[in-house]
Chains A and B, each alone.
Chain A
Amino acid sequence: MNKVFLIIAFTLLSSCQNFNSNSADESRFSESPIPASGSNDPNDPAYQSYVKLVKSYNIIKTRCFQCHSQWQNLNSNQKWIDSGLVFKNNPESSSLINRLKNFDPPGDMPSGANSAIPNDDYLTLVDWIESMP
């Protein structure tokens, strides 16, 4: 029995672990900070705009926040416009779009060896900016 206690006691050591594959999961995958829309009616333009904003925000979070974590607070259409990254109803002039490698002519984002974002995601972003109320 003493040996068993010794074995168990021997395995006691304690300290904090500060990094592994999951350490950044909260900042990368937590729920969108976008305030809920007042309406749930799919025919309501305000709700439609809200859905497009949420979808686009999540795309940008997945594809861009690794390097552009400062955009996390842009949780409304107006904040995106005020940031200068988006021109309302004008995706071609929006640097959020024309800096992408998907754009024609291709931009340089995502940077370095990262490939262009999936085309579906790109079209979602374009549609969001084009249809901003």
Chain B
Amino acid sequence: MAIKFITTLFIILISIAPVVAKDDIVFNQVKDFQKKLKQEYSQELNNLRSQIKNDETIDPDSYTEKFKKINFKIYSLIAKILIKEKRLLSPEHKTRKLFSTYRERLSQLEYQELKVEKIFDLINNHFKNIEDKQYSGHWRLFIDYISWQYGAVLNKPTGSSDLVITNKGICPGVNYARENKFLSFSVDACLLQTSGGVSSIDPTVTYTQSNISATGIKSSISIGYFASASKTEIGFKIPLMLISQDLEDPPAVGYKVKEGTNLIPMAGVYSRWPIGNYFFQTEFSKYLEEDQTQWALGLGYKF
């Protein structure tokens, strides 16, 4: 058992060793070249450092070509290290600071300027991409103006008649999202404070009620995409509504209202439009099982 464990560990170490070893090689090369710079070009190095520190005008021709070449070599090697980095390193990280230092030196020495800037942009974009892909959590409070329709059935002695209920009101709630620059995954919940009326779809049947309270909870999961630099968002949503709304039976004998389901799954699209930390949002969802629709228009604040 122990032999098996050691063998497995050895195989794992062997497989990552070249990567680790290769990175170590580059690091060591940087150190070697820095050592060479200090030992063989100490005067030029000190001059350059002093001139940069004192913000003096530098004459590139007063520095040797070999000195410039070694600085560029070190700069390129640091870039190789940084481009392999998968973590987000801030510009204040020692390796990035070193990289910036060499960039400044080469800029003052006017050595391979185009190439130097190209490499610098490459590294910056690399870390920007890492930063853009990183997810962070955000809370939002919102209040929606919401309206939806769903159905019920009026059972009569002579048959049945479909009823349609139209509700409207507000739904204040909270949203939590994990977002990066491109995508957003979120969940939200809000409390339905609505009311509505009911009528028969068949105009010859005169059952109607109005101002019937409808309360409940609406919860959704969403996936969205940021479509512009101002972080306007568009995506798909799966809301689920749990509602309580009591319809009265007509007074006539044999008439009874069979209420529809009070658990309503839907599928829809949403959009969110930020203005600073405030935003407004829209939603348009369809009841998955029946031909009825919910929409909402809301305002909110992002923390």
Contact = CB atoms under 8 A, between A and B. Distances in A.
Size band of the B side of the interface?
under 10
A108 B202 CA distance: 9
A106 B203 CA distance: 9
Identify whether the interface residues of A are mostly helix, strand, loop, or mixed: loop
Interface residues of A, number: 4
B132 to A, nearest CB: 48
Contacts of B203: 108, 111
Interface in B187-232: 203-204, 206, 208
A118 interface: no
Interface in A105-128: 105-106, 108, 111
A105 B208 CA distance: 10
A108 B204 contact: yes
Most chain A beta-carbon neighbours within 10 Å: one of B204, B206, B208:
B206
A106 B204 contact: no
Nearest to A105: B206
A108 B206 CA distance: 9
Interface in A82-133: 105-106, 108, 111
Contacts of B204: 108
A16 B204 CA distance: 45
A125 B203 CA distance: 22
Contacts of A105: 206
Contacts of A108: 203-204
Contacts of B208: 106
Nearest to B204: A108
A111 B203 CA distance: 9
A80 to B, nearest CB: 24
Nearest to B206: A105
B50 to A, nearest CB: 73
Nearest to B199: A106
A105 B205 CA distance: 10
A111 B204 CA distance: 11
A106 B208 CA distance: 9
Nearest to A112: B203
A55 B98 CA distance: 91
Contacts of A106: 206, 208
A113 to B, nearest CB: 11
A108 B203 CA distance: 6
A10 B204 CA distance: 60
B83 to A, nearest CB: 63
B296 to A, nearest CB: 22
Interface in B155-206: 203-204, 206
B156 to A, nearest CB: 15
Interface in A35-56: none
Nearest to B203: A108
A97 B38 CA distance: 105
Contacts of B206: 105-106
A9 to B, nearest CB: 47
A96 B206 CA distance: 17
B18 to A, nearest CB: 73
Interface of A: 105-106, 108, 111
What 5 A-B pairs are tightest by C-beta distance, nearest first?
A108-B203, A105-B206, A106-B206, A106-B208, A108-B204
Interface of B: 203-204, 206, 208
6 contacts: A105-B206, A106-B206, A106-B208, A108-B203, A108-B204, A111-B203
